[in-house]
Chains A and B, each alone.
Chain A
Amino acid sequence: MIKKNYLENLNNSKKPFIIYRSNKGFDLYTDFSKKIILTKNNIEKFINQSTKLKYKNKETDLFVGFFGYEILNNLIGIKVKKQKGLKFPKGIFYKPETKQKLPNKLNYKNLEITKSKTLFKININRASYKIIFDKFKKKIKSGETYQIKICTKYRNKTQIDALDFFCRLVKSNMAPEAFMIKDKDYSIISCSPENLINKKNDFITTKPIAGTLKKTKKLNRIKALAFFKKNIKESKEHNMIVDMERNDLSRICKAGSVKILKKKIVEEYKDLYHNVSLIGGKLKDNISPLEIIKAMMPGGSVIGCPKISTLNLLNTQEKESRNVYTGSFGYIKFNGDMRFNIIIRSILNYKNNSEISVASGVVIDSNAKHEFNENYIKAKALMDLYK
């Protein structure tokens, strides 16, 4: 186990580090011997080569890092027009030399945080949101998309202590795919609940979430399940995602092996209930990690459906880069096993610019006002960390 002031010393040392939620606590990755900044031109080579290295069964025989949204589009042949934004790298992976276990309760606190002096600004106001929303509704009626997720961004300029933010975030919003990265000029903090790829040997699963309910005293798991069943709009969104994920898995899995392992179950978190499904399959022989990543990413549940035409619609609409939002964070082991999440509920801080992106779905019976507010609620949990 780690010494008491270890995290504090690590944080003060200015060395880059990564923390990723594990089964019982967290894994801490440090002492990076390599840092690979991904571009359109080196990403395929990186993925292919990372799994050709000799696997000696060491816990650090892996690359850990993230793919941004844009590079995942490029990977499946979708162009994203030049967008405004932070000019943040499209993907970064690290080769750690040390992996340590951290307990469930992270002991770190920064008492002298500089409080944010500037307010958060939103990039799309209510009126423009409504215009985009109505435009997409027309596209749903004409059949070009069945479901599409509009992204809005909240921004602010503040210097933050990422580790302090992360410790406070997981205290209030522990999530199975929570992670943080801290490097010299940037940090990412996320309490993502959603696993996109879990691959061990020849078995792969994905665990989409569609449907969220805020906890109250009157609710319990059974009542939450009844709510999700009764709520036709959320139920339809969930159905669509389940069929889409089955589809993505079917591209790389053996015929007849793709199964819904858990169908629309309720998972309980500190403040929320989520409606979750678990889908798995047995990989075809000789499927490469690159093929797996191309089949599954970017994760459908945060894009909409069908994936390709919806991505094209989004990319013509969105003028600002999504950066890491709806990309994927995780690791690839030298033996080809991998675990990746979907980057949502996250803060990207780059050169002291903070960016919180949120999205919610447009289906035919969504309401612009409701979705706009929903986005605000999602962002607020993260903006509250700045207080």
Chain B
Amino acid sequence: MIYIIDHKDSFTHNVVHQFENFDDVMCDNHSEINENKLKKSKVIVFSPGPGAPKDYPRSSNIYKRFKGKKKIIGICLGFQQILHCEKGKIIQQKKIYHGYQSKIKVTSENSLFTKNRKFKVGRYHSLKLKEPFAAKNFEITMRCDISNVAMAIENNKEKIYGFQFHPESFLTENGNLLIKKILSA
């Protein structure tokens, strides 16, 4: 079972819908987390949402408890939530991407995805990761083709994955494939 932690976003149910293609999915609001579901789940997903990671201390707490014990996936705010817990700084970017389609590129040999492959994705974010960023076992594996902003992180050792863009958006090419690959990793 996949447990999706909702940060009150208007895209969370697209994430649910997408993950339902692959497994049973449960979804609860971040303030109404069910301990049993949390323990039973194989994968924990942090949803997109408004605001910044510091606004969601409960989600940070869950991340710290289950890091290394379960597969963890973060999308948009969820991606930033993971980075925030790994001592990364999340800052405002000059250009703001809401409803934007842009090209990104796989930049790492160690990614589950083929290096140098480019594809179009949907973006909804005003904040970004401040670099340089370094955390044990983590690697930035995708970047915006134009601005070079970090678009994905992978920690294949502890099975932690995050996307700054939205794999569930209709603006993202092959979003389902992406999720399938992460889930079977």
Contact = CB atoms under 8 A, between A and B. Distances in A.
B100 interface: yes
A248 B20 contact: no
A84 B99 CA distance: 34
B108 interface: no
Contact of A255 (B17, B77, B92): B17
A140 B169 contact: no
Contact of A147 (B98, B100, B122): B98
Interface string A347-387: 00000000000000001100000000000000000000000
A236 B100 contact: yes
B53 to A, nearest CB: 10
Contacts of B52: 142-143
A237 B99 contact: yes
Nearest to B24: A255
Contacts of B17: 246, 250, 253, 255-256, 258
Interface stretch (A190-198, A304-312, A319-327, A335-343): A304-312
Given A237-B99, A243-B166, A142 B92 contact: yes
The secondary-structure label for the interface of chain B is mixed
A248 B50 CA distance: 17
Contacts of A141: 92, 96, 126
Nearest to A309: B50
A240 interface: yes
Nearest to A363: B98
A36 to B, nearest CB: 30
Nearest to A147: B98
A231 interface: no
Interface stretch (B7-15, B112-120, B150-158): B7-15
B148 interface: no
Give the size range of B's interface with the partner: 20 to 34
Given A260-B170, A306-B49, A239 B21 contact: no
A204 interface: no
Contact of A236 (B51, B98, B170): B98
B84 to A, nearest CB: 13
Interface in A135-180: 140-147
Nearest to A305: B10
Interface residues of A, number: 36
B10 A306 contact: yes
A140 B96 contact: yes
A238 B170 CA distance: 12
A143 B99 contact: no
Contacts of A250: 13-14, 16-17
Interface in B1-38: 8-14, 16-17, 20-21
A123 B185 CA distance: 57
A278 to B, nearest CB: 13
B8 A247 contact: no
A168 B114 CA distance: 61
A240 B14 contact: no
Contact of B126 (A142, A236, A237, A305): A142
B121 to A, nearest CB: 12
B46 interface: no
A300 B16 contact: no
Interface string B163-177: 000100111000000
A45 B96 CA distance: 43
A242 interface: yes
B161 interface: no
9 contacts: A143-B50, A144-B50, A144-B51, A146-B126, A243-B171, A247-B9, A247-B14, A250-B13, A306-B50
List the 6 closest pairs (A to B, CB-CB), nearest first. A255-B20, A236-B99, A306-B10, A239-B99, A250-B17, A250-B13
Given A239-B101, A255-B21, A306-B11, 4 more contacts: A243-B99, A247-B14, A253-B17, A363-B98
Interface of A: 140-147, 235-240, 242-244, 246-248, 250-251, 253, 255-256, 258, 260, 263, 300, 305-309, 363-364
